[in-house]
Amino acid sequence: MKKTSLLILMVFIVSALISACSSGSNNGGTKSTTAATDTAVKDSSKQAVDASGEPAELRYTIWDTNQQPAYQKIINEFQKENKNIKVTLQVVPWANYWDKLNTEIAGGTAPDVFWNYIPYVAGLANKGALLDINPYVSKDKVDLSKFNKSLLDGFVEGDKRYAIPKDWDTMGLFYNKEALKAAGIDEFPKDLEFNTQDGGSFVKFLQKATIDKNGKHADEAGFDPKNIKQYGFMFIDRGQIDSGHLAGFAASNGATVLKDSKLQLDDKLQNTFSFLYDLVYKYNVHPSYTDVHTSGSDAKFFSGQVAVWMQGSWMMKPIQDGASFKWGIAPMPKGPAGRVVRVNGLGDTIYSKSKHPEAAWKFASFIASQKGQDILGETGTVFPGNSDSISKFVDFYKGIGIDPTVFVDEFKGGTTLSPAHTNQNEWSNIFVKYSSLSLAGQMDPVTAMKKIKEEGDAIAPAK
């Protein structure tokens, strides 16, 4: 009986071994242990999952703590639909953002998805740090018609697209109603126009809004330009001029600031810059650079020293909170080429070396989808890039007593981008240096533009 049982047991073992060898042979492998087989299955599963981007842990980096709650809400909604993707939100302040990002790119440790600013796209693309999303856009049939063309173009270099614009802002004219009344202006004029010859109706309005200590207007005989009590206009922001301030006026005058990282210095561009100079030194409607730099643009507007302040849409809430007077918003003036406003926007770019590009795209495209964009709009965080969600932002702001439709109307009209240079930081420093010297009265506008072209073009990449 024992021999029979032993024989049966031996037959069973041999059969099992034959079966195991046969199974291994059919799969092209010869794994002989359960542990090895389990490891192989796990590795195979991981590779397949990585190829599709799930499961994955993503790091998402932004720079604005004020916007953190809205983006965390977006992340929470995204993770409800994508339970195998974990997104960790990281906030790095603007002051350190670009240095940290470039350091991480150099070390191969950049975040999977991160905020990008259009003027920096070319430089980062040149480093090979950004993932081309065109294949994903095509595969998912993303409707790009929902987004502003200028902003879409801002995230394109050559035949590669690096982001879908997630938000936008633009410029307008914030005005102090009480300051205008003090100048004898009851209503802000409609359809103001400027030109670089005599200033147009825009300059005539600003001269009327400018008053010296004796109550004389800038267009009146006896006006004292050395003792101005109230200036009509200010475009310098927080003590410096940005090339974006020039871009809108330039485009409205039919000029271009930069192309292929080189200054497009022709008569139209020179005349535009000279016009901004003339606002200070010919028409006497704008404080000098030194004056604004010393006291600050915010302080000058809030104290009533300036009647009209060219500012971005992001200043609506700060002005509501800081102004002790009634105020309004008007559109930018038209130029010889029509009304073209500077528009800017951010996009979520994907690191080219991300270990989870599919998951990163899934997350970035969720932010650009109407579901993600509605969250940005209904929380009043930013103007959403997706046109279907803009009304959510408008409703939020109207609910707190601010009508932002001036900016929406401008956004739907002619727009142009802030100038973008491959070596953006260096070029910006050059532009600020010479434009500030000019607007401080220490350099004529023609020499300033020649200097910007000479030094700025020298750091442009060779073609």
Would you state the pLDDT for residue 25? 30
Q: What is the mean pLDDT of residues 249-265?
A: 97
Residue 156 has pLDDT above 90, yes or no: yes
Would you state the pLDDT for residue 14? 34
Spell out the long-range contacts of 423-427 with Cβ–Cβ below 8 A and sequence spacing 24 or more: 423/123, 423/261, 423/459, 423/460, 423/461, 424/119, 424/120, 424/122, 424/123, 425/98, 426/459, 427/261, 427/456, 427/459
CA-to-CA separations, 232 to 206, 277, 297, in angstroms, rounded: 5, 15, 13
- Split at pLDDT 50, 70, 90, the class of 22 is very low
Q: What is the mean pLDDT of residues 83-110?
A: 97
pTM: 0.86
Residue that has been written with the tokens 């200043």 in this structure: 315
Would you state the pLDDT for residue 55? 84
Q: What is the mean pLDDT of residues 421-436?
A: 95
Residue 102 has pLDDT above 70, yes or no: yes
Q: Which tops the pLDDT comparison, 230 or 9?
A: 230
Residue that has been written with the tokens 């103007």 in this structure: 383
Residue 17 has pLDDT above 80, yes or no: no
Q: What is the mean pLDDT of residues 49-69?
A: 82
- Split at pLDDT 50, 70, 90, the class of 240 is confident
Pairing of strands 383-384, 167-176: antiparallel
Exposure of 417 in the CB half-sphere (CA atoms within 13 A) = 22
Q: Give pLDDT tens digits for 307-361.
A: 999 999 999 999 999 999 999 999 999 999 999 999 999 999 999 999 999 999 9
Q: What is the mean pLDDT of residues 140-163?
A: 97
- Say how far apart CA 1 and CA 18 lie, in whole Å: 26
- Say how far apart CA 255 and CA 265 lie, in whole Å: 9
Q: Biggest alpha carbon distance in the chain?
A: 131
Would you state the pLDDT for residue 20? 35
- Say how far apart CA 384 and CA 378 lie, in whole Å: 10
Return the percentage of the chain with pLDDT > 70, whole number: 88
Are 252 and 275 within 8 A, CB to CB? no
- Say how far apart CA 57 and CA 360 lie, in whole Å: 9
Q: What is the mean pLDDT of residues 208-233?
A: 97
Structure tokens at 457: 């073009």
Would you state the pLDDT for residue 54? 58
Residue 7 has pLDDT above 50, yes or no: no
Q: What is the mean pLDDT of residues 196-213?
A: 98
Residue 126 has pLDDT above 90, yes or no: yes
- Say how far apart CA 10 and CA 437 lie, in whole Å: 97
Window from 42-56, 266-280, 322-336 with minimum mean pLDDT = 42-56
What integer best gives the mean pLDDT of the chain? 89
Question: What SS3 state is found at 293?
Answer: helix
